[in-house]
Amino acid sequence: MSIMILVTGGTFDKEYDELNGILYFKETHVPEILNHERCTVEADVRTLMMIDSLEMTDADREIILNYCRKCEEEKIVITHGTDTMEITARMLGKANIPKTIVLTGAMIPYKFGSSDGFFNLGSAIAFVETLPHGVYVVMNGRYFQWNNVRKNKKTGVFEEIG
Amino acid sequence: MSIMILVTGGTFDKEYDELNGILYFKETHVPEILNHERCTVEADVRTLMMIDSLEMTDADREIILNYCRKCEEEKIVITHGTDTMEITARMLGKANIPKTIVLTGAMIPYKFGSSDGFFNLGSAIAFVETLPHGVYVVMNGRYFQWNNVRKNKKTGVFEEIG
Amino acid sequence: MSIMILVTGGTFDKEYDELNGILYFKETHVPEILNHERCTVEADVRTLMMIDSLEMTDADREIILNYCRKCEEEKIVITHGTDTMEITARMLGKANIPKTIVLTGAMIPYKFGSSDGFFNLGSAIAFVETLPHGVYVVMNGRYFQWNNVRKNKKTGVFEEIG
Amino acid sequence: MSIMILVTGGTFDKEYDELNGILYFKETHVPEILNHERCTVEADVRTLMMIDSLEMTDADREIILNYCRKCEEEKIVITHGTDTMEITARMLGKANIPKTIVLTGAMIPYKFGSSDGFFNLGSAIAFVETLPHGVYVVMNGRYFQWNNVRKNKKTGVFEEIG
């Protein structure tokens, strides 16, 4: 069983530009994290885009959808900004692909040393290995069905809608 | 669904004594980690012991077994030193308790800033939520059946026996 | 010999707002750093303002100047954003106060875990203890006279003008 | 003005062996620290030994002394374990070399992420640039004369003897 990890950017992969004092994207840290965590799950990492999810367009989401459809793997983890994770999840969920797709992300950049990304990536990989076909958001140690999840803007945690 | 997290020590919770330059145990960091990771899974943390797993005796394992049996929760995560994790797993597995029990640990202490414990705890919590009754070791992003797992002493990663 | 440490903000004290993904100021970390470093130098920490040095006005600099003049201590360290550190240094230098005044800062926020602020604060405290009266910028392990220093915008390091 | 940095080991450079759970020495981190801190002081780093200072012998101290005597630089920083730093300082002090020699170290290994070594190295480099000829211990933001310093074993901080 091999896992496909699709990288789209988000806080997870943001870096701090020391010269300009801003946060920006360079390249994904997912491979070095998997290596550092001694993760032995067979996984392929593919960067589709490196963007803030607030700037993700319908065209970007089409790229993600198409990649999920066409790739060989049946188990897919997508790293994604948390702000519009629920929108991408709904779009993918409606497409009804016969695969297990898990979206995850982080509130704190990996490079800041104490990111929640390690924990979230750990649970995302575990959930994608065990959950049945479907599209899920994995945050805060839990998984949510694509059609029943939202980010609570005040607390920053994910919750069921109803 | 509530999870019981049983703490037994292990590298995960080791600290560095600045005055004597040795590694030792003070108290568990599991609650502060769950809080930092914004984990919203309903979880109870109970410290059973704080020891290096090389020093874990049969009597210690009895304590763990009894607690697993008697506690209300049906889903249990045990943080444990990696050196004898497979021994405790076998003992618990043979007891045939109708619960999902996951043992996990770390190769690097949490306090060293870049511990694999975050990742492992994230996957342990995800696996305990989804796997059927049984006893499992969760390390390196994977789960292993209690009767088919060992730590490779040379590489430090876990693998199937056969 | 007691040292006065005046805090004005700058990258050093910037924090990451997890909910909005921006950098902002809350309160200074200088006291907790001194404590963590087991610094036993007698030092008083006073926060004058918490601003990005690009937004520092002449009025703000007047506040700093007045405080340097009136405080009892003869040795003063000022934490300051690096972008206009040289401007404040020149203003203070021209005032010709009979004290040793050292400006320092950081390129990476303290909260990001691997800040150059620890190193810079360490050298600033050492230089203020040993240098004669005058105004200095301390960055990159070196001290610069107030009238012969600038930040190289391309490399981010400080250098002599001439 | 160029500085010679002599590495002898000590807590500063200790690493954690994930497979055996012990602290050990591999190679010094001083060059990568200087680079990370954007230190622009002209400095040469030379590793003389990599040992715990409790195991430092008279012969080891002879090596340090000889190197201090013969090297071209007039300003020397020595990274050293804290437990016997005062002994090496006294030996070097009695040799009466016409140079400025500063011994420094750390209570927490660099690799643990929040080491006091950054701060101490920052002040050691600053003190060696400014202090007159002599041998000094630099710890906790302060400098001590070689014949009036000891480590307080209970608190871990350095203090005057008399």
Q: How many CB pairs under 8 A join A and B?
A: 108
Q: Which two three-digit tokens encode residue A75?
A: 């188990």
Average pLDDT, chain A: 95
The pLDDT value recorded for residue C18 is 86
Taking alpha carbons only, the member of B61, A72, C129 closest to residue D142 is C129
Average pLDDT, chain C: 95
- Which residues in chain B have Cβ-Cβ distances shorter than 8 Å to D153? 19
Who has greater pLDDT, B114 or A147? A147
Q: Which two three-digit tokens encode residue B81?
A: 């030193």
Query: Contact C107/A18, CB-based, under 8 Å?
Result: yes
C-alpha A88, offset from chain centre: 10
Listed as ranges, residues in chain C with pLDDT below 70 are 1
pLDDT digit string, tens, across residues B113-138: 778 999 999 999 999 999 999 999 99
pLDDT digit string, tens, across residues A2-39: 999 999 999 989 988 888 888 899 999 999 999 989 99
Q: For residue C41, what is the DSSP state?
A: S
Q: How far apart are CA A80 and CA A158, in angstroms?
A: 14
Any A CB within 8 A of B121 CB:
yes
The pLDDT value recorded for residue B110 is 85
Any B CB within 8 A of D19 CB:
yes
Query: Contact D153/B19, CB-based, under 8 Å?
Result: yes
The pLDDT value recorded for residue C52 is 94
Average pLDDT, chain D: 95
Q: How far apart are CA C84 and CA B51, in angstroms?
A: 53
Contacts of A155 (CB under 8 A, 6+ apart): none
Q: How far apart are CA A118 and CA B36, in angstroms?
A: 12
The pLDDT value recorded for residue B112 is 80
The pLDDT value recorded for residue A94 is 98
The pLDDT value recorded for residue A128 is 98
Main-chain dihedrals φ then ψ at residue D85, nearest 5 degrees: -55, -40
The pLDDT value recorded for residue D142 is 97
Q: What is the mean pLDDT of residues A48-52?
A: 96
Taking alpha carbons only, the member of A15, A21, A19 closest to residue C153 is A19
The residue of chain A with its CA nearest to that of B118 is: A119
Q: How far apart are CA A146 and CA A96, in angstroms?
A: 11
The residue of chain C with its CA nearest to that of D116 is: C37
Q: Which two three-digit tokens encode residue A70?
A: 């066409």
The residue of chain C with its CA nearest to that of D127 is: C126
Contacts of B90 (CB under 8 A, 6+ apart): B146, B147
pLDDT digit string, tens, across residues A114-134: 789 999 999 999 999 999 999
Q: What is the mean pLDDT of residues D8-31?
A: 91
Main-chain dihedrals φ then ψ at residue C142, nearest 5 degrees: -120, 165
Taking alpha carbons only, the member of D112, D111, D124 closest to residue D158 is D124
Query: Contact C19/A156, CB-based, under 8 Å?
Result: yes
Three-state SS string across chain D, please? Answer: CCEEEEEEECHHHEEEECCCCEEEECCCCHHHHHHHCCCCCCEEEEEEEEECHHHCCHHHHHHHHHHHHHCCCCEEEEECCCCCHHHHHHHHHHHCCCCEEEEECCCCCHHHCCCCHHHHHHHHHHHHHHCCCEEEEEECCEEEECCCCEECCCCCCEECCC
Per-state percent for chain B, helix, strand, coil, to nearest 5: 35, 30, 35
Q: With H, G, I as helix, E, B as strand and everything else as coil, classify residue A121.
A: helix
Listed as ranges, residues in chain B with pLDDT below 70 are 1
pLDDT digit string, tens, across residues A87-100: 999 999 999 999 99
